[in-house]
A and B are shown apart, each in its own frame.
Chain A
Amino acid sequence: MIAAKAEIVGNVWKILVRVGDQVGPGDPLVVLESMKMEIPVVAPGHGHVAAVLVTEGQIVQEGDPVVEIDNTLGA
């Protein structure tokens, strides 16, 4: 299991993926809004989305896990 983490404090503006979605490195999963900028949280590796840990409008801190990705099934 690998976690995509927020790289900056901000609020969750849009969630782009659902549990079960296949994702690859660099794919945007969630868009944060911070300092009036749209800041994507991207997948760190291949796998499928195991859990979305945030809801839209929620505040996240730098380093908070946002999406969990299951990379064990050889996606």
Chain B
Amino acid sequence: MPHVSAASSSTSTQAATDAARATLADHRAQRFVRTDPRGSRVYTARERAELLLDADTFVEFAPLRSNQPGAGSGVIAGWGLVDGRPVVVACHDASIAAGAIGAVMADAICRAQRFAIEKGFPIVYVNDSGGARVPDGILALHGCGEIFALNVQAQTKIPQISVILGPCAGAAAYSPALTDWTIMVKGHGHMFLTGPDVVRAATGEDATADEIGGSGMHTKTSGVAHLEAADELEALQAARQLLSYLPSSAEAPQAVTAAVPVNPISAEAISAVVPERASVPFDMHEVIDGILDNGARLELSPQYCASAITLFGRIDGRPVGVVANQPAVRGGILDSKNSVKIARFVEFCGRFAIPILTLVDVPGFLPGTVEEGRGIITQGAKVLKAYVDATNSMRLTVVVRKAYGGAYIAMGSASLGADHTWAWSNAEIAVMGPGGAVGLLHRRALAEAEDPAALREELAADYREQVARPYVAAGAGIVEDVIHPEETRERLVAAMRLLAHR
């Protein structure tokens, strides 16, 4: 707009400003028209930014920046409020060069990223992009690389959320993978390195876009995305809900709200949730419901590696990241895939000092050729590292039933730095379960016994009492106390209240 700077009198300045605003309004109107019909898209980039934020709080960065096809920015970036707290947002605009990332667009995104990092506000990326803008060549690639670099720099400072509301292909797909949490809309949200045509040309594989990178694929099979939303609005709402549990930055206070009592029915039921026989599965969600504040909670990757639960909720109004074994799925076993899921969640909580509550009922790490072949040692070690590193978080651990072997150590044990650990009175904590231990410790006696089965049972009962009972762990000071299930919440509330004095 050269005539803006050329204006000399106040009248012509006024006129020039008005002209610039008219141009802007025209751009916005055109953008709206250009996306009509918008295919499967429901909202324009601007509408998406506005829907993510509290009403009338969106302030756009550099709204006059060129958005001509070819040379244009193709991103709506700015800031606004979510539940009254500042959040930076960058929404790809698929109406300009299909949201492909060119040099100008990358620069606009990087500016938003730097603003968020410097000011200490979370950033939400709304992705809808075909990848790098081909005519921009190396400038596009360089720009994408700069976005990635800032994604990484932001990791230790501010929460980053990616919302996938369209294709997110090629170079565009790596940015979400460098952010903390990814939400995908069902249907038109896709993430992949290359789409169906290129896949067919490259390897001959015949697969649909959904099969290669749909929301179902990424929230159930690959684990690349953490939440699946039915539509665009639900995806944006999910991002708001996720932000409600997170501090604005690693330096900021926790997002504390008014305390809500536990659901009285769940609290009443908690003492009866765990079956007497250690081999019978149960739903760990019932334990969680009997402990946390009643009301909304957000489970991440609910359909991916469901044998481990990772969710955000609240205790006494304070956000808490819950990690739990789920005995109802694969017996609650730890394996290479769910180890990565747990480690990632714990590591995230640690970066932002979010308290971590670990609920343990784990038969062990799954042994055998399949899991060893998947590198369970390396993946399991990630869980150990994540807990040890999470020194900024209060780490609270409750052994609900079984905690055996290396899996006992991995699940937020005192040895890894838990601040408080409790065990329910029926808990079993030992190097291995009674069956295996008896066979190992009494091999000769069992071989010589007249009735090996009876002796085995007797020895197992003895082992359970003498070795595995939580009083052994409590006597050694490794478990702080042995408690009844219904006492769990009050112990946790007391521990969490300490945090108010930090």
A residues lining the B interface (CB < 8 Å): 7-9, 33-40, 61-62
| Dominant secondary structure at the B interface | loop
Given contacts A7-B330, A62-B370, contact A36 B363 (CB under 8 A): yes
Q: How far is the CA of A74 from the CA of B368 in the complex (A)?
A: 40
Which residues on A sit within 8 Å (CB–CB) of B329?
7
- 11 more contacts with CB within 8 A, not counting A8-B366, A9-B368, A36-B363, are A8-B330, A9-B370, A34-B333, A35-B363, A36-B278, A36-B435, A37-B331, A38-B281, A39-B281, A39-B330, A62-B370
CB-contact partner of A37 in B333, B368, B370, under 8 A = B333
Whole-angstrom distance between the Cβ of A20 and the nearest chain B Cβ: 28
Is A37's CB under 8 angstroms from B281's CB? yes
| A39 vs chain B, min Cβ distance (A) | 5
**Pairwise interchain contact A37-B435, C-beta atoms closer than 8 A:** no
A65 to chain B, nearest CB (A): 17
Min CB distance, A42 to chain B, in Å? 11
Shortest beta-carbon distance from A61 to chain B in Å: 7
Chain B: CB-nearest residue to A9? B368
CB of A36 within 8 A of CB of B366, answer: no
B366 to A37, Cβ gap below 8 A?
no
Count B-side interface residues using an 8 Å CB cutoff.
17
Shortest Cβ distance from A41 into chain B, in angstroms? 11
What 10 pairs across the A-B complex have the smallest Cβ distances? A37-B331, A35-B363, A8-B330, A39-B331, A38-B279, A36-B433, A37-B363, A37-B279, A36-B279, A35-B331
Question: Residue-by-residue, is B322-335 near A (CB-CB < 8 Å gives 1, otherwise 0)?
Answer: 00000101111100
Determine if B280 is an interface residue (Cβ-Cβ < 8 Å): yes
Chain B residues positioned under 8 Å from A39 (CB to CB): 281, 330-331
Q: How far is the CB of B460 from chain A (nearest CB, A)?
A: 11
A64–B366 Cα gap in the complex (Å)? 17
B433 touches A8 (CB 8 A): no
Counting chain B CB atoms within 10 Å of each CB, which of A9, A37, A61 scores highest? A37
B319 at interface, CB cutoff 8 A: no
Hey, which chain B residues are within 8 Å of A37, CB to CB? 279, 281, 327, 331-333, 363
Chain B residues with CB under 8 Å of A9's CB are 366, 368, 370
Closest to A33 in B: B279
Bound CA span A61–B366, Å: 13
Q: What is the bound-complex CA distance between A66 and B363, given in angstroms?
A: 23
Interface residue B364 (Cβ < 8 Å from any Cβ of A): yes
Q: Which residues of A contact B364 (CB under 8 A)?
A: 35
What residues of B have a CB within 8 angstroms of the CB of A38 in the complex? Answer: 279-281, 331
How many angstroms from the CA of A37 to the CA of B404 in the assembled complex?
A: 13
The chain B residue sitting closest to A7, CB to CB, is B330
In the docked arrangement, what's the CA distance between A39 and B366, Å?
Answer: 13
Q: A35 near B333 (CB under 8 angstroms)? A: yes
Measured CB to CB, the nearest residue on chain B to A63 is B370
Report 15 cross-chain contacts, Cβ distance below 8 Å, ordered by A residue: A7-B330, A9-B366, A35-B331, A35-B333, A36-B278, A36-B433, A37-B279, A37-B281, A37-B331, A38-B280, A39-B281, A39-B330, A39-B331, A40-B281, A61-B370
- CB nearest to A8 among chain B residues: B330
Q: Which residues of A sit under 8 angstroms from B370, Cβ to Cβ? A: 9, 61-62
Question: Measured between alpha carbons, how far is A37 from B325 in the docked complex, in Å?
Answer: 13
Minimal beta-carbon separation of A16 from chain B (angstroms): 15
A34 surroundings in chain B (CB, below 8 A): 331, 333
Q: How far is the CA of A37 from the CA of B329 in the complex (A)?
A: 10
- Asked if B281 and A8 make an inter-chain contact with CB atoms under 8 angstroms apart, the answer reads no
Please name the residue on chain A nearest to B436 by beta carbon.
Answer: A36
Known contacts: A7-B330, A8-B331, A8-B333. The answer to whether A35 contacts B281 by CB under 8 A is no
Report the Cα distance A8→B279, complex, angstroms. 15
Query: Within the assembled complex, what's the spacing in Å between the Cα atoms of A41 and B330?
Result: 10
CA distance A15 to B274 in the complex (A): 24
Set of chain B residues within 8 Å of A62, measured between Cβ atoms: 370
Q: Produce 1/0 per residue, B267-284, CB < 8 A to A.
A: 000000000001111000
A40 to B433: give the CA distance in the assembly, Å: 20
Inter-chain contacts of B327 with A (CB < 8 A): 37
Q: How far is the CA of A34 from the CA of B331 in the complex (A)?
A: 8
User: Are B366 and A35 in contact, CB atoms less than 8 angstroms apart?
Assistant: yes
Q: Which residues of A contact B366 (CB under 8 A)?
A: 8-9, 35
Mark interface residues in B422-462 (1 if CB within 8 Å of A CB, else 0). Answer: 00000000000101000000000000000000000000000
Contacts of A35 in B (CB 8 A): 331, 333, 363-364, 366
List chain B residues, Cβ under 8 A from A61.
370
Tell me how far the C-beta of B332 lies from the nearest C-beta in chain A, rounded to whole angstroms: 7
Could you tell me the distance between the alpha carbons of A37 and B363 in the complex, rounded to whole angstroms? 8
Q: Which residue of B lies closest to A62 (CB)?
A: B370
CA distance A70 to B354 in the complex (A): 49
Q: How far is the CA of A7 from the CA of B330 in the complex (A)?
A: 7
A18: shortest Cβ distance to chain B, in Å? 24
Bound CA span A9–B374, Å = 14
Which residues from chain B contact A33 at a C-beta distance below 8 Å?
279
